[in-house]
Structure 1
Amino acid sequence: MFFKHSSDDKVAVLIVYADDIIVTGDFEDEIERLKCSLASEFVIRDLGQMKYFLGMEVARSKCGIVISQRKYVLDLLAETGMSGCKPSDTPMDPNQKLKEEENGEQVDKGRYQRLVGRLIYLSHTRPDIAFVVSVVSQYMHSPQEAHLYAVYRILRYLKGTPGLGLCFKKNEQRGIEVYTDADWAGSIMDRRSTSGFLYVYVGAIW
């Protein structure tokens, strides 16, 4: 990632992932110079405004920009055979306390890790599942049936909310607001506390 700032506090950003490149910012002159410089060294194709990148969909409106992973969610549901499942209103049972059961039945470790890995990537635009994903990820080393059921609960929640994402509002202040809190020895396994953070930036919350 490369940043260039102008004297009047504008910025151009160059992001490279393998052979995919994003050129963005509010420094229009520098953005055009970057494109010309790249074109002079490499064979490139300008695809216009970004709509899809690494599983993330970008939608623009008069209100701002929405980043979501709707197709990613639908593909995940299809791959796991959950496309026809009954949606859940919440990603986690608030009364359930996950733990390692002494005689709990083990499940396929590789499959569990792949599912949770996909959910971790999805949580980049879905802060509503971030907490429960962090919970189920604690059992990657030795997953049991109860842990897999919790993952399925997340998938059922996603079934009913595939298009949710982050909304960055136009003309909002660019300052970052941060809120934090913690429970008190909430873990039934080791009595550790769990901290929570909430960030607000140009209208988006995660």
Structure 2
Amino acid sequence: MYTQHQLPPKLLESSGEGLYDTVELWSATLGNEKEYNCHAFIVRLQTEAYLSLNWELYRNDIATCFQTDLSKDIEIWNIYLFFIIDGPVSRDLKYKIEQDRYSTRKVVISKSSGQYQSVFLENGIDVRILLDTCLFNVEVNQGSSQGDVGNSVKELIESLDPDILTVLEEYTPGIKKQKEFYHSYLTKKNIQNEIKGN
């Protein structure tokens, strides 16, 4: 489930005039998980030149005026910064921005690149399709040497380790449930190792 939020006043106050006029903040609830969200800032820009001059400013503002106010580690490290550009963007700039590891995970999408065309509407973007496509759709590309490329993730896991598939199907994700998952898997594998810690 996706929810749009007002930009934090602290963020707006820190920026230059108009810098956040084309920025939206969204949160995504992951499945049945109600204890945390991932957050996505979506920045609409006209040109590569403007992106090149300002992407670090957006990143730094989000780090100091939003990320520092989050208390849950899982939320602190699940902030996404999407730059949606109407014009073309060079491969070098896109790579530089997307490989930057400070504060947020960054995605640069150029309308003219032909990639993610389902995201673009006549007068804007479909945020839900953007977030579904970029955050939650997983494509596994096996390569021809490992068999049929059409296999689902479930089929791949089942072929490699059916026991873990059984455990995954019974597992309810949540914070601090890794011990429960590993214990269940080790029991399924009949491994008698002692699991330490509580």
Question: Which structure's relative contact order is higher, taking Cα pairs within 8 Å and 6+ residues apart?
Answer: 1
- Give TM-score, length-normalised by structure 1: 0.23
- Give TM-score, length-normalised by structure 2: 0.23
Which one has a larger percent strand, Structure 1 or Structure 2? Answer: 1
